[in-house]
Structure 1
Amino acid sequence: MKVLNKLLPNRPCFLDQPLSEDSSNKTIKGYNKFLESQESSGYKYQRRDNGNVFIIDMNNPEHGLVASLLQRRFNVPNANFDYNLPIVVDHFSPSGNGQLIAPDVTIYPNANHVQQPHIPYPGPPPGNKNGQPHARIVCEIGNEQSTKEWNDKCQLWMNQVYIRYVLGIKLHKKRNGKNNFGQYHRSMTAKLWQQGAGYQEWQFGTLIRKKQTPTACNSPNLPHYQINIPIAQVFWDPPLLPADEYIPTVPNSLATETAPVNFIIDLYRVQQLVLKEQNNV
């Protein structure tokens, strides 16, 4: 795919060949190859309906370290496994129309614990070209990305019924004032969308967004600032759809008395990581 650099007022843009009715599949395929080749470039891309490919966010230390922290938290149930992990934590997943979407973190079950596709890629059940299951949990971290774009991207994932939860974390711009440790105050928002149940929201930075009011997220292990996601939802695999009465369970290897029931994300830990890694000069 031929990609041309083009500057827009607020962000760089890569412009690909215009879509036409008979070339859309080819253009999507070209975009997928482009995305795969740029996977570790430090940019997040999004292809718009008109064929334009935009940089919607840029990686930086705090963005990358928040993604790493989330990956570690979602890997906790895998602690007793050296290989053939029951839960796969990755950062790439397909969308429903053959176009790849690159979230920051994806969590999906080991293929040994769910149904194999009845029909080769893209299924059903949905999966990727390597035969791996579709993500059940997706994490999106917005940094330079606008709040609206971040929110829209998170909501877009909920169109796929196999995605049970979307965790979005938005790091807003640094404030002018500093705390007692010489770190710039910063507002941060977390949202957790649950399939069929709306979303929850947390303001967990040092200041509430658009206000000078401090948040109550001021120490670790505060129940109101911990996000809990049932581990069993990674193994959501109904025999038939719709699946209103279906209840997922974890495989026997994760069903021990001491095994955790939920993934737990402590938002204070996220806050402190961001404050330490941001540029405080």
Structure 2
Amino acid sequence: MKKILNKLLPNSPHFPDQPLKEDSLPYKIGSNITIKEYNKFLERRESSGYKYQRRDNGDVFIIDMSGSEHGLVASLLQDYFKVANGGVIINPPIVVGIDEFHFSPSGNGQLIASDVTVYPNASHVQQPRIPYPGPPPGNRNGRPHARIVCEVGNKQSTKEWNDKCKLWMNQIYIRYVLGIKLHKKRNRKNDLGQYHRSMTARLWQQGAGYQEWQFGTLIRKKQTPTTCNAPNLPQYQVIIPIAQVFWDPILSLPPAVDYVPAVS
């Protein structure tokens, strides 16, 4: 199948014949790929579980791959954001999605996606009336633009993870970006027989600098233990106001059908 796709789509990134190993990342899968070709490649979803990056010279890389730890973190974040719906499952006020495509805040028309996407139900905000770039902007499928995104970095470099988080903040509709970076496991084990690991959380918000928490067993690049050793510690709680999910600027557009500005 891969060989057939390579012949049918010569100007598209191509996967290796053998499964990738984590220590082979970043792995180059294409050269001189235009933004249009790259977007088509993403929308075909030929292979799930990978994170991609297209560089300015057209080179395309696999920079991360999902695993059990990555998946558990992303799933936990989704559950946290759904709590504010108060148990409402059908047509909830807050929609929590995964891997939903948006157009890059860089303005070049390239598609990007985050691990977790949080946006308001269309009944509570102005819906996109004009295709990208709007106004108001929406995601690739015409739904309301995300207000909060989460980026979980596992095997990708800290720089790539940090740059992706900062890129999202160039879109004013993104009110918060929560980044979680799982650093490489250490060679030493703790008293429970688990390998020590550093973990970093960063929270960006519009109009302010980012906050950072070192919440693994050891502080990054040091042998010093963190103080994150129990649940519900106040100094390790990340607080994002629910109202920010419904952030909606005043636009000179006719109100959307069923539009009810329930949150100001």
Shorter-chain TM-score: which interval?
Answer: 0.7 to 0.9
My pick for the range that moved more, 112-121 or 63-72, is 112-121
Matching residue's letter, 1:166: V
Counterpart position of 2:83: 76
Structure 1 portions without partners, runs of 5+: 20-26, 242-248, 256-281
Report the equivalent of 1:258.
Answer: none
C-alpha deviation, 1:161, in angstroms: 0.6
The structural deviation recorded for 1:44 is: 0.5
Say whether 1:147 aligns with 2:155.
no
Residue in 2 aligned with 1:128? 139
CA distance in 2, matches of 1:250, 1:197: 26
Corresponding residue number in structure 2 for 1:15 = 30
1:93 is aligned, of 81, 88, 101, to: 101
Deviation digits for residues 78-123 of structure 1 (CA, Å, limit 9, x no counterpart): 2332311111111213124322112111101111110123423331
Amino acid at match of 1:77: A
Task: Measure, in 2, the Cα distance between the counterparts of 1:57 and 1:117.
Answer: 32
2:13 equivalent in structure 1 = 3
AA matched with 1:13: K
Once residues 88 and 10 of structure 1 are traced to their aligned partners in structure 2, the CA distance between those partners, rounded to angstroms, is: 32
> 1:172 aligned to 170, 183, 187, which one?
183
Q: Which sections of structure 2, spanning at least 5 residues, go unmatched?
A: 1-10, 253-259
Change (3 A) 1:199 1:39: farther
Answering whether residue 238 of structure 2 is matched by residue 227 of structure 1, we say yes
In angstroms, what is the RMSD of aligned CA positions? 2.4
- 1:1-281 equivalence runs, <5 A: 1-5=11-15, 10-16=25-31, 18=32, 27-38=34-45, 41-91=48-98, 92-94=100-102, 95-96=104-105, 97-240=108-251, 251=262
CA distance in 1, matches of 2:40, 2:93: 29
Distance 1:86 1:9, change over 3 A: closer
Give identity over the alignment, percent: 72
Once the two structures are overlaid, the 10-residue window that deviates more, 87-96 or 105-114, is 87-96
TM-score normalised according to structure 2 size: 0.83
Task: Report the Cα distance in structure 1 between the residues aligned to 2:234 and 2:46, rounded to whole angstroms.
Answer: 35
SS of 1:163's equivalent in the other structure is coil
Listed one character per residue, the Cα deviations across residues 122-174 of structure 1 (whole Å, up to 9, x for unaligned) are 31111024320111101011111111111111111111010000000111111
CA distance in 1, matches of 2:246, 2:205: 15
Please tell me whether the aligned partners of residues 231 and 250 of structure 1 are also in contact (alpha carbons under 8 angstroms).
no
